[in-house]
Amino acid sequence: MSEQDQDFQSFQQHLERIFKDLEDGTFITQAEINDLRYACGLPRNSQVNPLLRDVVNGFGDALASFPTIRGEK
């Protein structure tokens, strides 16, 4: 099997995992969304949904308040 075939097979397995996550109701990452868009021949969406950005930032702020998350005891 050529290197190109191996790369294609690896990417196909990656896409199958993404679809399985979607079918299971698991959230996927922006990188995975970009991979799906690439596989469909669509350009990357460089716009970030402001609501999602606020949610992610909110989680980051909430997690940062826990001392064990920052490595403090």
pLDDT in tens, 46-66: 666 777 777 777 777 776 666
Q: Residue 24 sits in which domain range?
A: 3-64
Whether residue 35 contacts residue 18, with contact meaning beta carbons closer than 8 Å, is answered with yes
Q: Tell me the pTM.
A: 0.57
What string of H, E and C letters represents the secondary structure of 23-56? HCCCCCCHHHHHHHHHHCCCCCCCCCCHHHHHHH
The stretches in the chain having pLDDT less than 70 are 46-48, 63-73
Per the domain annotation, does 43 fall within a domain?
yes
Q: Which two tokens stand for residue 9?
A: 């097979």
Q: Is there a domain that residue 40 lies in? A: yes
Give the per-residue pLDDT at 46: 67
Domain count, the chain: 1
12 in a domain, yes or no?
yes
Would residue 8 count as lying in a domain? Answer: yes
